[in-house]
Structure 1
């Protein structure tokens, strides 16, 4: 039997979906998250999954996991993710996203855990990139959040190179997420309170009857609003399993860090998101125009073929209205205070 996979941020929006995907694939899973005991999000995880309350940057917590679980791989999703907040509070992001990742990575190496999947982001690319953007683009992050992801990728480059020199087995995959949306098709988990992404904001505005703010209508795009590549959370969870399969297959003995885009290759504007939410909701949104936000970029669309060719993975959910419908239905079904 294969050894368990540790999922950091395992009770979060994406983390919970990844835990379900691993469990559905009959993988043993340890979910690590800072959420307190009794938080209802723990209850969204499958029966039989080991649940650990703790901080990924706490060596004592990690040592406790070492003593209890003989791990075979780590999927590192725990992070702070709000671009605008990272501009206002950059040091918090360097502590949570870079220093904690360094602690986790050092522990992984000391514990002989040689497979590591990192939750990176399209935010590493920054602005003024040719679209769709490939993994070979020059990285010029436009926000502290994007810079923290770039720095962890560089750490993985150096750790893999050193492991090869030392004759140790270490293989890593960084998945550069584009804009994640949707909810579990089986109704087990979905977007959580506090998410500020554009689809969550538009759905909540519709459900609560309040304005939906569009940050900038003068971007150099087809309709003046930012363009993004929206990937369904179910597809992203499958991408994590594909990355693990890749490391256990052709890359099993390699000391290498590989980077892949996770997107659909199709962009939709924020104005198109608003229209999709209106179609699902059955009524018009109240649109409120607002200034551009620091750290935002005009357009970000994935060139996903490298990961498709390497792993066989491909996004299944490509229609914006279908993705929005899953997201909206999850929020509509849950207690309004959880929105």
Structure 2
């Protein structure tokens, strides 16, 4: 029996593949490389020393996906595949709804057809929108503020309806906070498209590497100690291990449960910059620009439910996140295109 990983060549998917292979799982990985690189597959094998099956397939092409279910005895699915840039989702909402929602509907229909009812879903803390209070628990109000977040929230509600109709389904909704860093080997990491990344850590990394002149910090007038926004940054390996724990959970229970995956500790933009400067030995020039509309001042998780029900907690601090992120940057100055 195998675990199907959709979007397994992406940033979070690739690190999760490593953890699952290390734990002895048999994997079938699906990706269309719309925002990932084929080079990651070789590196997953190099880190783990294990083999896995790969299909170049798109969830919106059901014929491609059904071949996987017809060929392999799938026991459970970890569903990462989806578009993930907030700004792009605002510009291209129909593209996001078709890819993230319709693609998931196709996957669920095939799972139902082939009797696969165990699922770990890659959701996001964006389902909470601008939080009314912190720390954010799973009981906090759900109010996604952009099309990307709304696709995640829509899928969560679809999955709740699927379980309501068939109580045999077992589903874990993993709401990620801010994954950063890279595998300690430096072989896999975050490799965003475009010259100026949307996420903070790769932006800082490229400034440190001299690929960008300076970091733009959005806002310095928030009600925080240094005026910059506070977020819950989590090491990508800790996040990947959360999927391993969630998979164990869906194998031993039924129902739909949401879990926050975060550290429970907030870190400001300038604190992250200072930690990265310490890890890299490079000064990061930055300038303050206007706030982005909709950005929250403070956002961090209450991860106690994941701790009590999954037996999971984050083990790595911000310095380790920066150290591993810098190692990835220095070993792969052009990302996977280095090859």
- Per the TM superposition, whether the score is higher than 0.5 is yes
Once the two structures are TM-superposed, the CA of residue 11 in structure 1 deviates from its matched residue by: 0.7
Provide the rounded CA distance (Å) in 2 between the counterparts of 1:192 and 1:286. 22
The offset of 1:67, in angstroms, is 1.5
Residues 1:200 and 1:149: Cα distance change in structure 2 (over 3 Å): same
**Pairwise CA distance, 1:105:** 1.2
2:68 matches 1:65: yes
Deviation at 1:38, TM superposition (A): 8.5
Residue equivalent to 1:310: 309
Q: Counterpart in 2 of 1:179?
A: 178
- Structure 2 residue matching 1:258: 3-state secondary structure: strand
Tell me the distance in 1 between the aligned counterparts of 2:70 and 2:217: 49
Partner of 1:202: 204
After the TM superposition, which of the residue ranges 199-208 and 71-80 deviates more from structure 2?
199-208
State the TM-score, normalizing by the size of structure 1: 0.92
Greater mean deviation of Cα atoms: 319-328 or 38-47: 38-47
Provide the residue aligned with 1:272 in structure 2: 271
Distance 2:270 2:288 in 1: 11
Is the deviation greater in 114-123 or in 141-150? 141-150
| TM-score w.r.t. length of structure 2 | 0.92
Offset of residue 108 of structure 1 = 0.9
Q: CA RMSD in A?
A: 1.7
Q: Out of 132-141 and 179-188, give the one that drifted further.
A: 179-188
Tell me the equivalent position of 1:7.
5
Q: 1:131 aligns with which of 125, 130, 134?
A: 134
Distance 1:211 1:236 in 2: 29
Distance 1:301 1:110, change over 3 A: same
- Look up the SS of the partner of 1:176 in the other structure: strand
Deviation at 1:86, TM superposition (A): 1.4
- State the 1:219 CA deviation: 2.2
Q: What is the distance in 1 between the residues matched to 2:61 and 2:296?
A: 34
- Looking at structure 2, the residues matched to 192 and 307 of structure 1 have their Cα atoms a distance apart, in angstroms, of 28
- CA shift in 2, pair 1:186/1:282, >3 Å: closer
1:105 and 2:112 correspond:
no
Pick aligned residue for 2:155 from 149, 152, 162: 152
How far has the Cα of 1:128 moved from its partner? Answer: 3.7
Once residues 276 and 186 of structure 2 are traced to their aligned partners in structure 1, the CA distance between those partners, rounded to angstroms, is 19
Write out per-residue CA displacement over residues 283-328 of structure 1, whole angstroms, 9 at most, x where no aligned residue.
32111222222343222100000011001111111x2121111011
Q: Aligned residue pairs: how many?
A: 328
Task: Indicate conservation of the 8 Å contact 1:83/1:295, yes or no.
Answer: no
Deviations along 1:125-179, one digit per CA (max 9) or x if unpaired, are 0114210100001111121111111111000100011002xxxx21100000000
1:84–1:294 CA contact under 8 A, matched in 2? no
CA drift at 1:274: 1.2
Instruction: Determine if contact 1:16/1:44 at 8 Å carries over to the other structure.
Output: no
Any gaps of 5 or more consecutive residues in structure 2? none
**Per the alignment, in what secondary structure is the counterpart of residue 160 of structure 1?**
helix
Query: SS at 1:45's partner residue?
Result: helix
Tell me if structure 2 keeps the 8 A contact 1:122–1:300: no
> Partner of 2:261 in structure 1?
262
Distance of 1:38 and 1:241 partners within structure 2: 23
- 1:229–1:7 distance in 2 versus 1, CA, 3 Å: same
Deviates more, 1:70-79 or 1:53-62: 53-62
**How far, CA to CA, are the matches of 1:45 and 1:327 in structure 2?**
17
For residues 52 and 149 of structure 1, what CA distance do their matches in structure 2 show? 24
CA distance in 2, matches of 1:221, 1:162: 45
Mapped to 2, the partners of 1:64 and 1:132 lie a distance apart of: 43
Which residue of structure 1 aligns with residue 97 of structure 2?
94
Assess if the C-alpha contact under 8 Å between 2:187 and 2:328 holds in 1: no
Separation in 2 of the partners of 1:68 and 1:296?
45
- Structure 1 Cα separation of the partners of residues 22 and 75 of structure 2: 18
